[in-house]
Amino acid sequence: MRRVAIVIGIVLVLCALPAPAQQRSVTLPLDKEGLVDLHSAALANEIAAMRAEIKANGWTFTVGVNPALRYDLNQLCGRRVELLPPDQILQEPAVRSVSAMAKPVKPTPTPTPPTGLLSYYIGLFTPPKDQGSCGSCWAFGTIDEAETAVLKHNGAPVGVVSGNAITASASDPDMSEQYVLSCNPYGYSCSGGNNALAFLTGANPGALPEACFEYTATDATCTYCSSPTWWHLSGWDYLTSDTTIPTVGAIKSAIDQYGAVTAYVYVDRTFQAYTGGVYNNTKTYRYTNHQIQLVGWDDSKGAWLLKNSWGTGWGIQGYMWITYGSCRVGEGAAWATF
């Protein structure tokens, strides 16, 4: 009887746990290409449910149908902490309590900015790209930071934000994400990975041009043009570590000094469906699943300007305003130099 009671207890606990956020809440109809049908009634109903949740929580962002919704989140979110070298993983597990993942909490008060930093700053970055259905966000986040390092070295102008119009610093350099995806020695792939800036430094040759190894959103064989131009990074480092979140002040200081930082965030379906406003999801998450770049901040919004890799049809031309601390944004923040 005792054994039966224990089994029943385990079943009840498992039933009480929230469904993983990277899975769709319903099975959505597919189109002729095998992607989610963006015109289906089922997707419209899910968007309506998200809007009701946003209203009930008093959040200030909007959601709607966008091209990123063609994919499952597990196709887009390729952060894989289990692939880190053992010496980079903290003894404390990244997922401490699955049952607490979606527990609503009160918004964190906006921290007082450190002395000497502006209340508003936009850094150095290239335009957003589109990773497609490959879980290569880690390669895009890595290349985003490498491109920023070159922009900083070359004295490029900062980006400009005017309302919902966001202009990147420059479109050149345009480095190859496919090279990092296909040629890295860490086992990272379309099935996921982590920050790979180390692959562009040290004894490695660096990054090469997009035209030399064009992106295919597949685990293509490592083959690229002969005699490429190389951008070899002179250095990189985490602000704290791959699995911890630096302070807001530390991230601001790094963006101010290096132009931008690559970092992680936890993505759920409301993030995927984001179309505008300040993303201020107040749910508690215990780990991250997606790599992005933080390219600026605005204290009047209490938010970072986040650059994503889901194309310009997502969010605000491929960007998002996300409040400090939301969804573990900033975990694993790292900089690079050229």
Report which residue type is found at 73.
L
Helix axes 137-153, 248-258, angle to 10 degrees: 50
With beta carbons less than 8 A apart as the criterion, state whether 322 and 226 touch: no
Which entry of 77, 134, 212, 290 is annotated as an active-site residue?
Answer: 290
Q: List beta partners, residue 130.
A: 310
Active site residue 39: no
> What is d(CA 208, CA 227) in angstroms, rounded to the nearest whole number?
10
Q: Is 334 exposed, middle or buried (0-12, 13-18, 19+ CB in 10 A)?
A: buried
Q: Is 111 exposed, middle or buried (0-12, 13-18, 19+ CB in 10 A)?
A: middle
Q: How far is CA 67 from CA 72, 142, 236, 294, in A?
A: 12, 23, 33, 22
> What is d(CA 8, CA 250) in angstroms, rounded to the nearest whole number?
47
> What is d(CA 171, CA 150) in angstroms, rounded to the nearest whole number?
12
Report which residue type is found at 111.
P
With beta carbons less than 8 A apart as the criterion, state whether 22 and 72 touch: yes
Report which residue type is found at 247.
T
Which entry of 137, 183, 212, 327 is annotated as an active-site residue?
Answer: 137
> What is d(CA 228, CA 246) in angstroms, rounded to the nearest whole number?
36
* DSSP one-letter string for 200-220: GSTTS--B-BGGGS---SS--
Give the H/E segment covering residue 165.
Answer: strand 165-167
Closest CA to 326 of 169, 301, 140: 301
In degrees and rounded to multiples of 5, residue 45 shows phi and psi of -65, -40
Residue 149 structure tokens = 């390092």
Residues catalogued as catalytic: 137, 290, 308
